[in-house]
C-alpha cells in the first residue's frame, strides 16, 4: 500500500531553473507586490496592475482591478496548468519585451514586465509558492477533506474580504453549492455555529457548518459494522473510534486489500498528526484511532479512487516492440476548434501533450519567405509557422512522459520548403531524432518505448530503401496522406446518418431560363451506389435528391425548373442545381466564359487574397432542403466569413461545393501572377454536356479513369526529409503479410469499420507487427470524433482523435490511457493475444462467453453542480446517475444502461443507495463502464459530470468515482460519486505481460 500521507504532489509542467541567490528577492517581490502590465484582448490593450500574494493565504495570486470584485481578480495557484514566457499572438516588438503567461483550466493571464530581472524574480517566486501550495493542499486533503473544502469555499464566499460571513453570504454560498435549505433551518444553523453571537461566521465556525451539512451518514452503517466501540447515544467526536486492527479488517473484507499493520500504523500517525519514535510505536499503536469523520476522509480521497492505484503509475512492460502498444494520438493537432474556421495555435500542441498525447499531426504548406506553414488547407483556419510548432514540441514533448513522440506529417510543401522542414527538424531536435539504422533489414520489429525514450519519430512519405541507398531522389510512388489513403472523396459512405456523395463521373449542364443562368450537376447512377442511396433515403422518408448533404437548390430556380420542365437523361440523378447571379463580380470576368461557368464557391485566391480573406463567396444564394420537405434559406453568405457559430453551418455546406467544384472545373488551373489569378487551359477531364452523353461514352470515360487510377501519380520527395524519416506511409494491403516494420498505413474510420466487420482476425494478425493509423472521416467538419474503442478492438496502434473537441469519444480515449500511468506514459500495452509473440487467435468482436461480472451500487454524490453555477444559483439541481457499457457490440447489447432515481433539490450531497446494477462481460480487457451524472430538468436533461474507466482497472469496495467536466474534460475538484463495487472473475483468459 502506498503511504499517500507522505507522498508529494508533482507539478505537471516544466519549471524554469533559477539560481538560489535570487530566491529571497523573488519571495519579497510576490509578498510585497510587483507592478506590471496586464494584457487584454490578445495584446491589443494593457493596464497597469500590482500583483501580489494574499497575506493570509499564499495560495492566491491577487491583483486589483478598479471595476471588478477582488475575488474575480485572482488565480488559485493550484489551478495553474502552465507557466510560460511565450505568447501566441502578435505584439509589436515581441522579442524585446518580457512576458509571462499563466494558464489555468479556463483562464489565461498574460503579464508584461518592465525588464528581464523583474520577470525572472516574479517567476521564481511564483514557482516557489506554487510548489508549496500544491504540497500543502495535497496533505490537507488527506488529513481532513471536509476542512479543506470548507477553507476553499470560505475564501471564495468572502466577497468583501473582511474574513467574516453574514447570513446572506452563507445563504448565497449554499445556493452555489446547490443545497436546498429553507430560511428557518438556515437561520437556526447560523445561530448554532455563531459561537461569538456577533451575527458573523468566521472561518473556523464555517468549517463546522460544512461538516454538518456534508456528514456522510451513508457510511455510518459500514462504520458501525467494524467499530466495536461505537455508541450511537454519544457524540462521534468523543466516542466510536476505530482502531488500526478494525480498519485493517475493513480493508480486507470490503476493499479486498491486504495492508501490513506497520503501514497502517504510519497512516494513522499521519492522520492524527502524531510524531512517535519507531521504537515506541508498538507500545502506543493501541492508542491511535480514527473518528467517523476521519474514516469518511479515507473513503473520500483520490487514493480511494475506483481506478486501481497501480495504474496511476507506469507499471506495464515497456520493452516490447512499439507495435505492441496503443499510442495516444491526435488528429489535426494544431487546431483549437473546428477544421473550417478554427484557429491554429501552438497552444493546441501544448494541450495535447499535457493530456498524454504521443502522436501529433502537422499539415504543412508552402508559406511566404520560404517559411513553411501549418494549417488546414483550403479552409478559413488561421496559419502558424512550422518553426514555431517545432519549438513548442521540443519544449513540451517530454514534459509529462519520457516515451517517444511521433510526428505525423501531411506534407503539401514544395521540395524547396520541404528542405526547410528537414533543416528545422535537424537543428531543433538534433540527436533526439530517431533515424533508420543501416541494418534496418534485420529489424523484424520496431524498437521498444524504453529504447526510444526521449526520441522523436518522423512519419512521412517515402521508402525505407531510399534512406539507406543514398540514391538521388526525384520521384517516389509511395504516397500516404489522409486524403489519399482512407475515406476517398470518390467513395459513397454513411457517417452519422449523413450521405457522402460520389464525385466520380459528374457532369454539368448549363441552361438559361427566364433570363437566369442555371447549372445542373448530375452523375451516372451506379447500381450499387443507387441501392445504398435509396435504402438510406427510404429509411429517412426522402427521395434520392432530398439529402441534406446533396441539396443546394435555390428556391426560385426550383420553381422555374418545375415550370419549364428542364430535361436531363433518365439514367442520371441530379446532385445540385446552382443559379448564378448576374452581379458585378461576374461582370468582371465576363470575357472568361469558361471560368464564370464553373466559378468556385470558395476561390483559390493568391496568398495575399487568401490571407486577407476577402468577400469571395458572397455571390451565391442557396437553400438547404430538409428531410421533411421544407426549405431553410442559408441566404447570401456574408463577407465576413470568420463569424463563428452562424457561419459554420454555411461553411459546412459550402465545403461540399468546394470539393465538388474541384472535380468539375472545366480544365482551368489557377496560378498566381503578381497577386492576380491567371487561367491556363488544361485537358478536359469530364464531358460537361449531358445531352451528348451515351452509355458507351460513359463507359469509355470510366475505363480511362480506372486505367489512370492504376498508375499512381508520382510525387516529388525531399531527400533531406527522407533521411530523417523512420515511419514511412504506404497503401494498406491486407495481403502484404511480410511488410517491414518501418511502414505505416493511414485509413479513415469509414474504411476501417468496413474492414473490422469483414475480416477482424486478419486485422489483428496484421497489426501485431504492422502499424496502422486511423483518423476521423472527412465529413466531420465540426471536428467531432468517432468511437476509439472500435479501433482498439483490432489492435490498431494509432487511433487519432480531435483533442480540441471534448466529446464522449475523447472521454473514452482519456480513460483508455489511464491504464498505464495516464499522461505520464501515453502508451498502453495491448491484450496478450494481440502481442507480436502471441499464437492465440482470440477475436474480440466474436467473443460471447462471460468471463467477468461487475456489480455496482451507486450510494451518494458530492458537489454536483453545473459549470455555470456562479451565474445560475436559483435552480437547484436534481441529479441522477446513468451507468452504461462501451466495448464490443456483444458486451454493449448484452448490458442495458442503468439509471438511478432522481434526488430532488440537492446537488451538494445527494444520497441514492440504488439497486445493484449487474454487468456481464465477454471482452472486459477492451470494455469500459461509463458513469454520467445528469440534472433532471423540464425539456432536456443536462450533464453535470462524466467518468469512464476500463473494466480491468476497477477496484472493488467502497470507491470514489471522480467526474470530468463537460467543457474541457478536466477532473472537477471535490465533485464525485460514491459507489460500492463487486468484481467476480469467472475465467482468467490471459494476463498482461
| Active site amino acids | 331, 376
Q: Could you tell me if 35 and 48 are in contact, meaning their C-beta atoms sit under 8 angstroms apart?
A: yes
Q: 721 phi and psi, to 5 degrees?
A: -75, -35
H/E stretch holding 458 reads strand 456-460
Which candidate, 737, 752, 854, places its Cα nearest to that of 306?
854
Task: Work out the angle at residue 58's Cα, subtended by the Cα atoms of residues 52 and 62, and round it to the nearest 5 degrees.
Answer: 35
Q: Is the dihedral of CA 316, 320, 324, 330 positive or negative?
A: positive
C-alpha 123 chain-centroid distance: 29
What's the rounded Cα separation, in Å, for the pair 959 and 600? 59
Q: 102 phi and psi, to 5 degrees?
A: -115, 120
Which candidate, 272, 311, 246, places its Cα nearest to that of 2?
311
What's the rounded Cα separation, in Å, for the pair 385 and 373? 5
What's the rounded Cα separation, in Å, for the pair 4 and 483? 49
Which whole-number Å values give the CA distances from 871 to 176, 910, 927, in the listed order? 9, 22, 38
Q: 531 phi and psi, to 5 degrees?
A: -65, -45
Which whole-number Å values give the CA distances from 821 to 314, 318, 385, 447, in the listed order? 4, 12, 33, 20
What's the rounded Cα separation, in Å, for the pair 326 and 328? 7
The helix-helix angle for 116-143 and 23-32 (nearest 10°) equals 80
Q: Could you tell me if 373 and 424 are in contact, meaning their C-beta atoms sit under 8 angstroms apart?
A: no
Task: Work out the angle at residue 578's Cα, subtended by the Cα atoms of residues 513 and 619, and round it to the nearest 5 degrees.
Answer: 105
| Helix/strand/coil for 331 | coil
Beta strands in 473-610 (DSSP E): 494-495, 498-499, 506-513, 516-524, 572-580
H/E stretch holding 794 reads none
Q: 289 phi and psi, to 5 degrees?
A: -140, 165
Number of Cβ within 10 Å of residue 677's Cβ equals: 17
What's the rounded Cα separation, in Å, for the pair 749 and 331? 12
Classify residue 505 as left (phi > 0), alpha (psi -120 to 50) or beta.
left
The radius of gyration of the chain's CA atoms, rounded to the nearest angstrom, is 32
Q: What is the dihedral of CA 303, 308, 310, 316, to 10 degrees?
A: -150
Which candidate, 347, 344, 348, places its Cα nearest to that of 364?
344
- Burial label for 326, CB within 10 Å (0-12, 13-18, 19+), is buried
C-alpha 433 chain-centroid distance: 27
What's the rounded Cα separation, in Å, for the pair 390 and 655? 30
Query: Which residues, listed in sequence order, are joined to residue 280 by a DSSP beta bridge?
Result: none
Please give the full DSSP string across 861-928, using - where no structure is assigned.
EE----TTTTT--SS---EEEEEEEESSHHHHHHS--EEPPPPTTBSSS-B--PPPEEEEES-GGG-E
Task: Work out the angle at residue 834's Cα, subtended by the Cα atoms of residues 833 and 840, and round it to the nearest 5 degrees.
Answer: 35
Which candidate, 472, 469, 523, places its Cα nearest to that of 501?
523
Amino acid at each position: 500500500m502506498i503511504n499517500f500521507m507522505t507522498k508529494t504532489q508533482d507539478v505537471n509542467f516544466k519549471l524554469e531553473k533559477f539560481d538560489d541567490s535570487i530566491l529571497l528577492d523573488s519571495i519579497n517581490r510576490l509578498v510585497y507586490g510587483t507592478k506590471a502590465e496586464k494584457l487584454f484582448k490578445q495584446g491589443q490593450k494593457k493596464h497597469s496592475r500590482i500583483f501580489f500574494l494574499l497575506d493570509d493565504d499564499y495560495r492566491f495570486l491577487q491583483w486589483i482591478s478598479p471595476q471588478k470584485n477582488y475575488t474575480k481578480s485572482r488565480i488559485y495557484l493550484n489551478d495553474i496548468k502552465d507557466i510560460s514566457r511565450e505568447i501566441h499572438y502578435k505584439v509589436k516588438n515581441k522579442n524585446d519585451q518580457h512576458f509571462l503567461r499563466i494558464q489555468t483550466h479556463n483562464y489565461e493571464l498574460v503579464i508584461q514586465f518592465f525588464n528581464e530581472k523583474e520577470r525572472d524574480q516574479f517567476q521564481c517566486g511564483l514557482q516557489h509558492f506554487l510548489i508549496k501550495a500544491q504540497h500543502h493542499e495535497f496533505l490537507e486533503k488527506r488529513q481532513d477533506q471536509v476542512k479543506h473544502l470548507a477553507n476553499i469555499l470560505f475564501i471564495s464566499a468572502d466577497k468583501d474580504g473582511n474574513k467574516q460571513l453574514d447570513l446572506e453570504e452563507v445563504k448565497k454560498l449554499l445556493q452555489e453549492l446547490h443545497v436546498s435549505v429553507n430560511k428557518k433551518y438556515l437561520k437556526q444553523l447560523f445561530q448554532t455555529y455563531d459561537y461569538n453571537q456577533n451575527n458573523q461566521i468566521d472561518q473556523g465556525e464555517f468549517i463546522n457548518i460544512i461538516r454538518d451539512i456534508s456528514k456522510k451518514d451513508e457510511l455510518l452503517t459500514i462504520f458501525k459494522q467494524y467499530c466495536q466501540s461505537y455508541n450511537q447515544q454519544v457524540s462521534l467526536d468523543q466516542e466510536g473510534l476505530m482502531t488500526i486492527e478494525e480498519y485493517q479488517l475493513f480493508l480486507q473484507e470490503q476493499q479486498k486489500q491486504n495492508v501490513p499493520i506497520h503501514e497502517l500504523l504510519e497512516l494513522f500517525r499521519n492522520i492524527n498528526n502524531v510524531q512517535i519514535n519507531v521504537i515506541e510505536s508498538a507500545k502506543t499503536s493501541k492508542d491511535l484511532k480514527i473518528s467517523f469523520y476521519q474514516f469518511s476522509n479515507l473513503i473520500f480521497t483520490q487514493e480511494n479512487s475506483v481506478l486501481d492505484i497501480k495504474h496511476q503509475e507506469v507499471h506495464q512492460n515497456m520493452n516490447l516492440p512499439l507495435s505492441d502498444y496503443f499510442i495516444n494520438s491526435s488528429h489535426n493537432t494544431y487546431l483549437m476548434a473546428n477544421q473550417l474556421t478554427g484557429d491554429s495555435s501552438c497552444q493546441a500542441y501544448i494541450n495535447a501533450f499535457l493530456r498524454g498525447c504521443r502522436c501529433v499531426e502537422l499539415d504543412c504548406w508552402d508559406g511566404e519567405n520560404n517559411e513553411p506553414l501549418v494549417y488546414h488547407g483550403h479552409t478559413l483556419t488561421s496559419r502558424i509557422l512550422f518553426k514555431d510548432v517545432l519549438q513548442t514540441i521540443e519544449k513540451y514533448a517530454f514534459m509529462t512522459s519520457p516515451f517517444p513522440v511521433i510526428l505525423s506529417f501531411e506534407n503539401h510543401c514544395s521540395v524547396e520548403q520541404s528542405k526547410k522542414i528537414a533543416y528545422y527538424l535537424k537543428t531543433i531536435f538534433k540527436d533526439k531524432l530517431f533515424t533508420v539504422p543501416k541494418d534496418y533489414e534485420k529489424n523484424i520489429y520496431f524498437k521498444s518505448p524504453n529504447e526510444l525514450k526521449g526520441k522523436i519519430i518522423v512519419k512521412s512519405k517515402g521508402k525505407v530503401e531510399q534512406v539507406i541507398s543514398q540514391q538521388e531522389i526525384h520521384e517516389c510512388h509511395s504516397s500516404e496522406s489522409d486524403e489519399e489513403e482512407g475515406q476517398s472523396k470518390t467513395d459513397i459512405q454513411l457517417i452519422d446518418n449523413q450521405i457522402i456523395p460520389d464525385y466520380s463521373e459528374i457532369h454539368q449542364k448549363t441552361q438559361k431560363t427566364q433570363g437566369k443562368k442555371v447549372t445542373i450537376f448530375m452523375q451516372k447512377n451506379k447500381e450499387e451506389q443507387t441501392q445504398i442511396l435509396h435504402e438510406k433515403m427510404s429509411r429517412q422518408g426522402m427521395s434520392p435528391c432530398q439529402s441534406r448533404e446533396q441539396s443546394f437548390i435555390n428556391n426560385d430556380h426550383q420553381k422555374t425548373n418545375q415550370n419549364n420542365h428542364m430535361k436531363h437523361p433518365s439514367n442520371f440523378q441530379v446532385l445540385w442545381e446552382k443559379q448564378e447571379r448576374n452581379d458585378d463580380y461576374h461582370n468582371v470576368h465576363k470575357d472568361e466564359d469558361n471560368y464564370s461557368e464553373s466559378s468556385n464557391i470558395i476561390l483559390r485566391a493568391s496568398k495575399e487574397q487568401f490571407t486577407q480573406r476577402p468577400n469571395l463567396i458572397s455571390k451565391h444564394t442557396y437553400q438547404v432542403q430538409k428531410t421533411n420537405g421544407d426549405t431553410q434559406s442559408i441566404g447570401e453568405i456574408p463577407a465576413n466569413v470568420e463569424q463563428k457559430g452562424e457561419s459554420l453551418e454555411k461553411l459546412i455546406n459550402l465545403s461540399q461545393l468546394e470539393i465538388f467544384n474541384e472535380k468539375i472545373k472545366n480544365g482551368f488551373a489557377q496560378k498566381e501572377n503578381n497577386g492576380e489569378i491567371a487561367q491556363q487551359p488544361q485537358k478536359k477531364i469530364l464531358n460537361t454536356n449531358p445531352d451528348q452523353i451515351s452509355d458507351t461514352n460513359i463507359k469509355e470515360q470510366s475505363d480511362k479513369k480506372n486505367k489512370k487510377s492504376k498508375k499512381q501519380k508520382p510525387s516529388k520527395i525531399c531527400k533531406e526529409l527522407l533521411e530523417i524519416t523512420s515511419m514511412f506511409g504506404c497503401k494498406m494491403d491486407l495481403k502484404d503479410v511480410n511488410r517491414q516494420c518501418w511502414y505505416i498505413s493511414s485509413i479513415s474510420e469509414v474504411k476501417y469499420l468496413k474492414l473490422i466487420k469483414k475480416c477482424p482476425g486478419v486485422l489483428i494478425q496484421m497489426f501485431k507487427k504492422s502499424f496502422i493509423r486511423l483518423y476521423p472521416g472527412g465529413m466531420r467538419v465540426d471536428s467531432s470524433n468517432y468511437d476509439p474503442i472500435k479501433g482498439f478492438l483490432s489492435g490498431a496502434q494509432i487511433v487519432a482523435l480531435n483533442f480540441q473537441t471534448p466529446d464522449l469519444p475523447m472521454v473514452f480515449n482519456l480513460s483508455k490511457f489511464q491504464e498505464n500511468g495516464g499522461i505520464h506514459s501515453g502508451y498502453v500495452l495491448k491484450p496478450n493475444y494481440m502481442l507480436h509473440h502471441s499464437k492465440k487467435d482470440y477475436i474480440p468482436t466474436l467473443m460471447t462467453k462471460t468471463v467477468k461480472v461487475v456489480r455496482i451500487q451507486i450510494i451518494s454524490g458530492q458537489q454536483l453542480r453545473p459549470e455555470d453555477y456562479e451565474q445560475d444559483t436559483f435552480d437547484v439541481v436534481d441529479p441522477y446517475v446513468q451507468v452504461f457499457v462501451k466495448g464490443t457490440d456483444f458486451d454493449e447489447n448484452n448490458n442495458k444502461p442503468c439509471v438511478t432515481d432522481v434526488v430532488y433539490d440537492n446537488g451538494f450531497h445527494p444520497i441514492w443507495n440504488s439497486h445493484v446494477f449487474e454487468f456481464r462481460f465477454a471482452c472486459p480487457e477492451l470494455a469500459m463502464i461509463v458513469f454520467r451524472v445528469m440534472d433532471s430538468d423540464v425539456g432536456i436533461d443536462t450533464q453535470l459530470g462524466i467518468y469512464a474507466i476500463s473494466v480491468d482497472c476497477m477496484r472493488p469496495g467502497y470507491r470514489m468515482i471522480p467526474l470530468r467536466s463537460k467543457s474541457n474534460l478536466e477532473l472537477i475538484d471535490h465533485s464525485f460519486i460514491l459507489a460500492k463495487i463487486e468484481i467476480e472473475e469467472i475465467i482468467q483468459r490471459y494476463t498482461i505481460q
